[in-house]
Amino acid sequence: MRLPWSYSLCFDTISKNLLSLHSQFLRQKSMNIKKCAVIGLLFLANGWNMQAEKRMEDIRDTIEVKSLHEVIILSSTKETNDLKTLPASVSFITPSIIEDRKLSTIKDLSTIIPNFFIPDYGSKLSVPVYIRGIGERSTGQSIGMYVDHAPLLDKSAFDFEFLDIRQIEVLRGPQGTLYGRNAMSGIVHLTTLSPLQEQQVKVSLGTGNYGLFKAKASVSELLTDNVGIAVNGYYNRNDGYFTNQFSGKKADPLQSGGASFRLDWKINPYWTAQLSANYDKVNQGAFPYGEYTAGSIADPDYNYPGNYTRELAGSNFNLNYTNDNFIFNSNTGFQYLDDDMKMDTDNSPSAVFRLNQLQNEKSWTEELTIKSNTKNNYQWSFGLFGFHTGLKTNVTTTMDTDGIKTLLQPAFDKIHENNPRAPLMTIKNTNIPIPGTFKTPTYGGAIFHQSTYNNLFIDGLSLTAGIRLDYEKAKLDYRTNMNMDLSIDMQAGPNLIHLQDSALVTALQGNLSTEFTEILPKIALKYEFNPDNYVYATVSNGYKAGGYNIQNFADIVQDAVRAKYDRNFHASPVDSLVSYKPESSWSYELGFKGDILKDVLSTEVAVYYTDVNDIQITDFVASGQGRILKNAGKAKSAGFEVALNAALTNELGFSLNYGFAHATFKDYKTGDEEGAADYLGNYIPFAPQNTFSLNGIYDKRLQNSWIDRFHISAQYNASGRIYWTEANNVYQDFYGLLNLRAGVNKGFAGINLWANNVLNTRYTAFYFESMGRGLAQAGKPFTFGVDVNLTF
């Protein structure tokens, strides 16, 4: 399935003056009005001129100094507590924060939330989320991600452009009872803007260094008193930040674009329906990794350029019934993912290995919940959840000329050297592709319940308890082969006698399946001193699903070839090489939330301890041709978090967030008994020990002036130390990035200047070891730009 796509823009039909910011770019793009119809509608909608003056009176501030007082959504379709008084660590990202910090994707949330870290490296395929020292950098996921209550089941779909986000909630710690599988570290929930609640037209254009250009537009309108529609579109591009020395071209240019649609219908006082759909496409250079030596990262230098293209599409239908006694909610979701990854897996100018992986996935989810809606002390919630995902992956690992000469041919030569009676086999191929087709369908279901009793024994004391039964079944259908053309010679005295030319064909195929059943309980106590201050204690269970690896099948096929001709070598069973077990955890948390100074200063403090069993970590296969998940015994994470939000005056405010995570292995050994490496007490790699964010904003309103408003803000985001290996012998020290923003507003228009990594701090965003070499990606350098925003 390939959906229509165009990088053309049609903004000049709307406002030639705005396009003067990037006229040179647009002159290079051919106009295609038909393919731009969706974006054109955003501007030509009848709401462009209708009641503009009235809307200007109703529009909320885009940057709110007193973020303490921003209206946030407190209800949930299945939670028995208000989100703001939840007995757990939860952070709210409001529209003013999104605007102030230019948050565009989930990766932009990194470090601005305590103990929440997502490094930006590789491609949009890679979304390694770490919360409280627990996470996963490649396959699998340890957090749940939701958009308007619908889960995204594949981490490959997490990195997309935010469009009209009303609120982001980040819950830290296991959320297994209400959210089930793969919510072991927490969840991220995005809520989009409802056109029934807010109607406006917004246009944003931006440009910057490194060839940056951004365009974003949205319109939300009331079609009738009870029906509203919202449509959004965006386009992004940049030239890339790193140069491939082999080709002399940028290694990581990016183009992406997409659109979303939402229709809300207030059917009657009890029933509401919401239908949404989205489409997103990205085409980017990827994996700009360079050789790492003594803390220095060389420029990328490889002969086979990396590339990643991806199409995402999805739809969601939500039906809600609310009366004075209960709330019923049905959420049906569909997600489509189609991507193509090309990678030089030896990351060198030599022609050793290259990889081409294509994924096609279709997923369905359904969740039914019913919860109480009374003012009674007892609140309850019940739910059913089911899902099915069908993933088909085509992977071709190709061994090129240098790989054959230096790796494969020496293995055949050694067979002859060890046994002169054995024939001498010489590979005739210039390259050897190892194609494979892998189908990994997964389905499952769950039933869950949660109860909260308020004012238990005494006023202000509440108890929340819940339990979930989660079932999942995963299958693997694999078909892979390796074909070689061989010249076979036999030793006859001092001479070699040619026997024959032969085609060696080795094929593997089979079916595997596994299933998991988990019971996920939770219990929490909370005591409210008053409505604005409370303490809590929580014990919760988390669970991350097991499954199958597929990127190591090229090595498995090569082992099968070797086993044919080397009687001293025995290949391991496929199941034992590709499967990994679920990961589970128990977490204990104490916390306080409240106002230190009413309407001026609020704080959140939490301390936690987490035990993890069968922790899943990423490892490279022996040849370096791919990454796999494997279980690494037991681990623990202990730490604390502090968040402060202050509105010092009507014009000046700040926020501070700090998280500390001491995440270490409790039991992890590798290798055989004699050469085993014991990592007891070592830090879990890729998870930072500290995250820190300090944000300050000054927002001045003016009267009788040529501008209505002036605002300036500064953010300092930091993290570290980050260990890159289980041996803890390579690491990134604590580092910070300074970002600045400044802007003015007049009427419906605003212009903003911004700069990221102002001090041009050099740091390592990612490190790994492959084929005996250390490789890394440097962090993004100093960038700057300007945005123009219109809001009607």
pLDDT of residue 14: 30
- Packed helices 409-418 and 553-565: angle between N→C axes, nearest 10 degrees: 30
Q: Where are the alpha helices (DSSP H) in 162-280?
A: 176-179
pLDDT of residue 504: 79
pLDDT digits (tens, 9 = 90+) for 271-326: 999 999 999 999 999 999 999 998 899 999 999 999 999 999 999 999 999 999 99
pLDDT digits (tens, 9 = 90+) for 771-785: 889 999 999 999 999
pLDDT of residue 191: 94
The average pLDDT across 407-419 equals: 84
Q: How far apart are CA 307 and CA 340, in angstroms?
A: 8
Local structure of residue 684 (DSSP, 8 states):
P
* Structure tokens belonging to residue 157: 């779909």
Q: How far apart are CA 700 and CA 248, in angstroms?
A: 47
User: What is the longest distance spanned by two Cα atoms in the chain?
Assistant: 104
pLDDT of residue 708: 94
Local structure of residue 673 (DSSP, 8 states):
S
pLDDT digits (tens, 9 = 90+) for 657-667: 999 999 999 99
pLDDT of residue 772: 84
User: Could you tell me if 733 and 687 are in contact, meaning their C-beta atoms sit under 8 angstroms apart?
Assistant: no
Query: In which band, very low, low, confident or very high, does the pLDDT at 689 lie, cut at 50, 70 and 90?
Result: very high
pLDDT digits (tens, 9 = 90+) for 8-37: 333 333 333 333 333 333 333 333 433 333
Q: How far apart are CA 713 and CA 100, in angstroms?
A: 8
User: Could you tell me if 78 and 71 are in contact, meaning their C-beta atoms sit under 8 angstroms apart?
Assistant: no
pLDDT of residue 622: 64
Would you give the distance in Å from CA 727 to the centre of its chain? Answer: 26
Prediction pTM value: 0.87
Helix or strand (DSSP H, E) at 410: helix 409-418
Q: How would you classify the pairing of strands 143-147 and 186-192?
A: parallel
pLDDT digits (tens, 9 = 90+) for 348-397: 999 999 999 999 999 999 999 999 999 999 999 999 999 999 999 999 99
**What residue ranges in 531-600 does DSSP mark as E strands?**
533-544, 547-548, 579-580, 583-597
Q: In this model, does residue 604 exceed pLDDT 90?
A: yes
For residue 480, give the nearest of 362, 559, 412 by alpha carbon: 559
pLDDT digits (tens, 9 = 90+) for 530-569: 988 999 999 999 999 999 998 888 888 878 877 777 777 7
45-82 burial string, b = 16+ CB within 10 Å, else e?
bebeeeeeeebeeeeebbbbbbbbeeebeeebbbbbbe
Q: How far apart are CA 791 and CA 199, in angstroms?
A: 11
Local structure of residue 323 (DSSP, 8 states):
-
Query: In which band, very low, low, confident or very high, does the pLDDT at 675 lie, cut at 50, 70 and 90?
Result: low
Distinct helix (H) and strand (E) counts, the chain: 10, 44
Q: CA dist 740 to 231, 702, 711, Å?
A: 30, 22, 11
Torsion of CA 455, 461, 462, 463, to 10 degrees: -120
- Burial class of 595 by CB neighbour count within 10 A (0 to 12, 13 to 18, 19+): middle
* Structure tokens belonging to residue 484: 């070689």
pLDDT digits (tens, 9 = 90+) for 503-522: 878 889 999 999 999 999 99
Of 118-122, 493-497, 714-718, least confident by mean pLDDT is 493-497
pLDDT of residue 420: 80
Q: What is the mean pLDDT of the chain?
A: 87
pLDDT of residue 495: 76
User: Could you tell me if 318 and 149 are in contact, meaning their C-beta atoms sit under 8 angstroms apart?
Assistant: yes
Q: How far apart are CA 545 and CA 564, in angstroms?
A: 35
Q: In this model, does residue 177 exceed pLDDT 70?
A: yes
Q: Where are the alpha helices (DSSP H) in 242-375?
A: none
For residue 355, give the nearest of 409, 428, 255, 287 by alpha carbon: 287
Would you give the distance in Å from CA 142 to the centre of its chain? Answer: 10
Count CB-CB contacts under 10 A for residue 125: 22
Q: In this model, does residue 403 exceed pLDDT 80?
A: yes
Q: In this model, does residue 437 exceed pLDDT 60?
A: yes
Q: How far apart are CA 424 and CA 412, in angstroms?
A: 7
Helix or strand (DSSP H, E) at 458: none
User: Could you tell me if 692 and 111 are in contact, meaning their C-beta atoms sit under 8 angstroms apart?
Assistant: yes
561-575 burial string, b = 16+ CB within 10 Å, else e?
bbeebbeeeebeebe
Strand partners, 283: 255, 309
DSSP reduced 3-state for 377 = coil
pLDDT digits (tens, 9 = 90+) for 209-253: 999 999 999 999 999 999 999 999 999 999 999 999 999 999 999
Share of the chain above pLDDT 70, in %: 90
Of 106-115, 411-420, 455-464, least confident by mean pLDDT is 411-420
